[in-house]
Structure 1
Amino acid sequence: MGSFTKWLGAGLGFTLGGPIGAAIGFALGSFVDKFEIEGFKQEQIDYDRGKPRRTTKTHSNTQSGDFEMSLLVLASIVIKSDGKVDQRELNFVRSQFLSMYGKERANNAFKLFKAIVKKEVSARQVCIQIREHMSHASRLQLLHFLFGIAKADEFVSKNEVDEIKKIAGYLYINQYDFESIKAMFYDESGNAYKILEIDKSVSNDEVKTAYRKMVKKYHPDKLRDLGDEHLKGAKEKFQSIQDAYEKIKNERGL
């Protein structure tokens, strides 16, 4: 296979098959020659048949490339949900890829993303595939990234929020976690409490308990298996927890 599909296949595990693999195959068909496509399809067949593939040092069956491809496909769904593809949203996706993956890998990923955007993909089928293989912490990180995309054009439409909420449901992310991550992208009264998944009426001890619980849930170490390139977003999410707790402490004089 050529260099592009070699890059692609090298980081994939579960996303080589299923609806995500089909979306990748569609995208490849728009700019990769037939010989390379056939090679990629053979890898998909081998994976679906359960043939042993490369081994990794991760403790789960989700590889860095799996997270990347899941991100690409889900982002393509959200970015189209308001009826248009905004350049600022595309720029956000590209900038995130650059910061995570470096120039060469980001260029490959973005090229694939722009092709995937042109395909209609079933959010439900994609999410079923993801939740069968990804940890809860990884799925929360996907949701965080999707809200970042929606906010990139400085206006989050109802359609975008509804689409992300639907995706969250398909990923088995509960309402409290959804509202917590959503609140990280808004500057509204009471959002600090939403981030910690508590009500304003709770006691000071309950605030501290909630903070400890959220620190454990969102600690970046939970995503270390996905590679250092995905820890930046995890640290941003973790910092939101710290900031929310500090804001509540200041308000209450703790």
Structure 2
Amino acid sequence: MLRWLLAVLGYALYRFPGAIVGFLLGSLIDNFSSKKGKTFQSAFGTSQQEVTPADFELNLLSLASLVIKADGSVSQSELDYVRQYFVQAYGRERANATFKVFNDVIKKHEISAQNICTLLRQRTRYESRLQILHFLFSIANADGSVSTLEVNEINRIAGFLGIYARDFESIKAMFFKNPDSAYKILEIERTATTSEIKTAYRTMVKKYHPDKLQHMDEAHQKGGEEKFKKVQEAYEQLQKERGF
């Protein structure tokens, strides 16, 4: 419908060339709207064709719900963390709209992590998916610790998201303190030489630099800064231990 409206408007302004441009522009907008409806339908198995707010937020909230329920109990601190995160990222009004759609529509259907992650792999950059992984670990850690069941669920989601095992272990190590944490964060072995540690640090700085998340919302960028800080802390720890 929009394509014809813009075609008529284009013709009135610029005659035949304007009609062509208006029709093409309207077609692009119509196709984009249609794809959003189909994306939501294929991810959640519903017949709803129009989604407000954006389905990315619903996908993210759905993955969060899987992590929250992974250990068999729903922690209030984890729920509060998710709500605060969404309010910070999208504003209170939009966050409330997301939770309403989730409660009214999505919760009534089986949530498929594989379907959701397949869509996210198609529509997000790898560094954005790394931040989603960090977000899920942060939820699990909101009650003070990350359980084995939660780790297993996040690992399953990471596989569907196409996250490399070494990147999963790196982000996981940011939430567990043990003698090997600094090495795992930098994705190296304890036997790594000083030169290898420095090289690994430079590689991780490039991978987790906050600038790579400038296209995402403020809350996601803040999470990126937290990852970047953990990399720096890991490197400084090894500097002290190795004396270089």
Please give the TM-score of this superposition, normalised by the length of structure 2. Answer: 0.76
Equivalent position SS for 1:201: coil
User: Equivalent residue for 1:248?
Assistant: 238
User: Equivalent residue for 2:222?
Assistant: 232
Q: How does 1:192-231 map to 2 (within 5 A)?
A: 192-231=182-221
Q: Separation in 2 of the partners of 1:85 and 1:21?
A: 27
Change over 3 Å in CA distance of 1:158–1:167 after alignment to 2: same
Equivalent position SS for 1:138: helix
Task: Say which of 157, 161, 164 aligns to 1:167.
Answer: 157
Equivalent position SS for 1:124: helix
Contact 1:77 1:117 in 2 (8 A): no
Q: How many residues align?
A: 210
Contact 1:67 1:226 in 2 (8 A): no
Greater RCO (Cα-Cα under 8 Å, separation 6 or more) = 1
Offset from partner CA, 1:190-216 (integer Å, 9 cap, x none): 101100000111110100000010011
Q: Separation in 1 of the partners of 2:243 and 2:34?
A: 49
User: Equivalent residue for 2:167?
Assistant: 177
Equivalent position SS for 1:17: helix
Task: Say which of 166, 179, 188 aligns to 1:189.
Answer: 179
Percent identity over the alignment?
51
- State the AA in 1 paired with 2:89: M
Change over 3 Å in CA distance of 1:228–1:157 after alignment to 2: closer
Q: How does 1:32-181 map to 2 (within 5 A)?
A: 41-43=48-50, 65=54, 67-114=56-103, 116-117=106-107, 119-181=109-171
Q: Separation in 2 of the partners of 1:213 and 1:168?
A: 21
Q: Separation in 2 of the partners of 1:97 and 1:167?
A: 20
- State the AA in 2 paired with 1:43: E
Q: Separation in 2 of the partners of 1:13 and 1:167?
A: 27
User: Equivalent residue for 2:29?
Assistant: none
- State the AA in 1 paired with 2:39: G
Q: Which sections of structure 1, spanning at least 5 residues, go unmatched?
A: 1-11, 27-40, 45-63
- State the AA in 2 paired with 1:76: S
- State the AA in 2 paired with 1:127: C
CA offset at residue 156 of structure 1?
A: 2.0
CA offset at residue 67 of structure 1?
A: 4.4
- State the AA in 2 paired with 1:121: I
CA offset at residue 147 of structure 1?
A: 0.4
Contact 1:23 1:73 in 2 (8 A): no
Equivalent position SS for 1:125: helix
- State the AA in 1 paired with 2:145: F
Contact 2:67 2:140 in 1 (8 A): yes
User: Equivalent residue for 2:22?
Assistant: none
Equivalent position SS for 1:43: coil
Where is the helix percentage greater, Structure 1 or Structure 2?
Answer: 2
CA offset at residue 19 of structure 1?
A: 5.2
Equivalent position SS for 2:79: helix
Q: Separation in 2 of the partners of 1:223 and 1:14?
A: 25
CA offset at residue 78 of structure 1?
A: 1.3
Query: Highest Rg: 1 or 2?
Result: 2
Q: Separation in 2 of the partners of 1:135 and 1:91?
A: 27
CA offset at residue 20 of structure 1?
A: 7.0
Offset from partner CA, 1:224-253 (integer Å, 9 cap, x none): 122444211111111111111111111111
Contact 2:36 2:50 in 1 (8 A): no
Contact 2:88 2:218 in 1 (8 A): no
Q: Separation in 2 of the partners of 1:24 and 1:149?
A: 26
